[in-house]
Amino acid sequence: MAQITYANVKDLFLRITGLDSDDFEYEDLINSGIDFVQQRLIVEPDDDSVTKCEYAACAAAVYDYVLESSMRLKVMFSENGAAYDETADEKGIAAAKRLKSSAFAALRGLVRDDDFVFMGTEEHYDQ
């Protein structure tokens, strides 16, 4: 039985985010990404599938990392000393969301689909 490996997910995370492994402080995001995938598995992954699961766990961690990073207040100083707040990087958030969606699309048949929403039917009566 193949298992999602923390070290593989971390290596992918570091590669995608460009972060350095020194002083790494995102273990919680990686573990959360792994748990996110494992809780949704509906079949035991084989060796090929576990690679996709690791990538999806990484993508979930990257998405959370981008959201977390966008919440931090960033201040820049101009030449005259005025401070300006930067807004969240909407393009970065959108890219992380696409990465996560793409990674989970590759898991169809392996994980349950949490995106399904039941839409009720509305009845119309002739009067």
Contact by Cβ (8 Å): 53, 41? yes
How would you class 53 by CB atoms within 10 Å of its CB: exposed for 0-12, middle for 13-18, buried for 19 or more?
buried
- In this prediction, residue 33 carries a pLDDT of 96
Of the candidate ranges 46-55, 58-67, 76-85, 103-112, the one whose mean pLDDT is the lowest: 76-85
This prediction has a pTM of 0.76
Question: By C-alpha distance, which of 40, 47, 93, 41 is closest to 70?
Answer: 93
- In this prediction, residue 88 carries a pLDDT of 60
- In this prediction, residue 127 carries a pLDDT of 52
Given the DSSP bridges, would you call strands 75-77 and 83-85 parallel, antiparallel or unpaired?
antiparallel
